[in-house]
Amino acid sequence: MYVVTSEQMRMLDEETISRFTPGLTLMERAGQGIFESITSRLEGAPKKCVSIFLGRGNNAGDGLVVARLLADSGMKIILLYLHEPESLSPDAFKNHTRLKKFRSRGMIEEIYLYLAEGRQKAVQALIDSDLLVDALLGTGLNSPVRGNYAAVIEMINGSGLPVVAVDIPSGIHGTSGRRLGTAVKAGLTVTLGLPKTGSVFYPGKGFTGSLEVVDIGIPPEVIAEKDIKTHILDRDTALADLPRRDPTSHKFQCGSLLVVAGSRRYSGAAYLTALSALRTGCGIVYLAAPESIRTVIQSSAPEVIFIPLPETGSGSIDLRAIDLLFSSRRINAAALGPGVTTEDETVALVKEFVSRCQVPVLLDADGINAYRNDFASLKKCAEDKDIVISPHGGELKTLAGIEPEEDPLPRLEQLSSLVRGSRVTLVQKGAPTVIAHPDGRIDINVFGHPGMATAGSGDVLSGALAGFLAQGASPAAAARTGVYLHSRAAEIAAAEVGERAMIAGDCLEALPLAMRELEEYGDTGRMFRPFPG
């Protein structure tokens, strides 16, 4: 699914209205979608009273459509206006006039917050309501929220009631996600047409709550004409990228991966990376690591084939190990870096291996740090093979001398420009994780939670990425599927143990559950199915 800036969405709306669909029709579709989201959540509510806060733009018009549909379904509606109805946008005012019959039946109460008695009536409205709808400000907001708008937003946030935001929470910049003074804290945001970058990047994401997208009928050809490169990484994308397994396949046909990881100090990194690769469905995993951690690995992960390597005095991989890594074993991909340290001998080994390797390579952690301030050399190594790198912000700074920008658009352009036209795929870990592809495409991961900020989490991701590379997935597909499953596994683990208490091992154990969930969603990947009857 595409994700757009406020300006891109404005252009898509205008193009659709001028060539295909009247604005009033788009507003009706938007209101219908929001109405369906609300009614699915209010089922069984005792009072079924909804208060809708209205500005004066098309955002308010969407809210007025919602009011009509909710009233028609038998709910009590309270409309709270911040401006005189006559100042509504033209399409919004048309929907205001359509409420006449519901006013006459007493199904709609109207409160004018710009009048002296409006605030007191609003307090009672909150007492009577089951749910609030924020239709105050849309994605066009560019200046700090002040005056009555700020006061009303504080009233909404202090109500303790569930809040549904129309398109984007009022007070959040639609493109950057910045909070402009104050902002509505929504439990659900129903966004219109396409998701906005301000809802998937922090701090805006923290105000958005659950995000649902309503298709208002923007024609595909209008979207295609804009050449939008930015996408949300969703379940459908991950499913499409998931490698398929033939019912007659054997382990070598399911991917053979060489993992070069670990040291005497960091044996856990090697364990997590290797086991994670196996959990993605990789047929066979060789773990090349210092001899001193053989017992730890083989006693805890007997499924991994251990290749003992000579080590330095401090327990890191020695450069003498390079020829052992290019023995006659058959591999489809390699993963280097987790826990190997940055000793001179090990750095030299990493660079030599990457230079000579002829299969796709995943570099993470100290594999990335081996190329300190030398990203040009790494891209040169990628001229004859695909390389996937998965740095966090500190590792990216070590590699390329840059820190990720805070605002979404500069960050996306910064990451895209690093790899555009090369054979390097960049998985930049963060909140959110962003995948930059050589062809200019950007994928933004919207899953996961703060509990993933725990030691070893990146090693689990490394194994997942490399495991899919070994199974024959393209670098783009391996990056998308690996990131998606890793974050979904973290969500599943947190549902069991909580975000704060989750450790990397919990995420590793949840990987099979995330995989099964994805396969069952698409009804794929099952070798046998029961006969009907």
Residue 57 inside a domain? The answer is yes
Q: What is the pLDDT of residue 373?
A: 95
Residues 338 and 487 grouped into a single domain: yes
Residue 308 inside a domain? The answer is yes
- Among 117, 179, 169, CA closest to 143: 179
Residues 267 and 387 grouped into a single domain: yes
Q: Residue 177's domain is classified under what CATH number?
A: 3.40.50.10260
Structure tokens at 348: 């030299």
Q: Residue 309's domain is classified under what CATH number?
A: 3.40.1190.20
Out of 194, 227, 260, a domain closes at 227
Residues 186 and 333 grouped into a single domain: no
Q: What is the pLDDT of residue 249?
A: 81
- Among 71, 4, 11, 60, CA closest to 35: 71
Structure tokens at 108: 């709609």
Residues 200 and 309 grouped into a single domain: no
What gap in Å lies between CA 56 and CA 89, rounded to an integer? 6
What gap in Å lies between CA 67 and CA 117, rounded to an integer? 22
Residues 272 and 326 grouped into a single domain: yes
Structure tokens at 64: 């007025």
Residue 533 inside a domain? The answer is no
Task: Name the DSSP letter for residue 406.
Answer: S
Q: In the chain, how many domains are there?
A: 2
Residues 197 and 258 grouped into a single domain: no
Sign of CA dihedral 166, 168, 172, 174: negative
Out of 227, 260, 293, a domain closes at 227
**What predicted TM-score, i.e. pTM, was given to this entire model?**
0.92
- Amino acid letter, residue 487: S
Residues 140 and 223 grouped into a single domain: yes
**pLDDT (tens place) for every residue of the chain, 533 residues total:** 999 999 999 999 999 999 999 999 999 999 999 999 999 887 665 568 999 999 999 999 999 999 999 999 889 999 999 999 999 999 999 999 999 988 888 889 999 999 988 989 999 999 999 999 999 999 999 999 999 999 999 999 999 999 999 999 999 999 999 999 999 999 999 999 999 999 999 999 999 999 999 999 999 999 999 999 999 999 999 999 999 888 888 788 789 999 999 999 999 999 999 999 999 999 999 999 999 999 999 999 999 999 999 999 999 999 999 999 998 688 999 999 999 999 999 999 999 999 999 999 999 999 999 999 999 999 999 999 999 999 999 999 999 999 888 899 999 999 999 999 999 999 999 999 999 999 999 999 999 999 999 999 999 999 999 999 999 999 999 999 999 999 999 999 999 999 999 999 999 999 999 999 999 988 754 444 444 43
Residues 336 and 258 grouped into a single domain: yes
- Among 224, 218, 164, 156, CA closest to 191: 164
Give the range of the structural domain holding residue 421, as residue numbers without chain letter. Answer: 237-241+251-522
Residues 217 and 265 grouped into a single domain: no
Residues 147 and 261 grouped into a single domain: no
The string of DSSP codes covering 176-231 is T--B-S-----SEEEEESS-BHHHHSTTHHHHH-EEEEE-----HHHHHHTT--EE
Out of 160, 192, 227, a domain closes at 227
Residue 532 inside a domain? The answer is no
Q: What is the pLDDT of residue 530?
A: 45
Does residue 391 contact residue 430 with C-beta atoms inside 8 Å?
Answer: no
Residue 530 inside a domain? The answer is no
What gap in Å lies between CA 379 and CA 176, rounded to an integer? 30
Residue 336 inside a domain? The answer is yes
Residue 89 inside a domain? The answer is yes
Structure tokens at 253: 């046909």
Residue 390 inside a domain? The answer is yes
Residues 180 and 109 grouped into a single domain: yes
Q: What is the pLDDT of residue 44?
A: 60
Residues 302 and 194 grouped into a single domain: no
User: SS3 for 81?
Assistant: strand
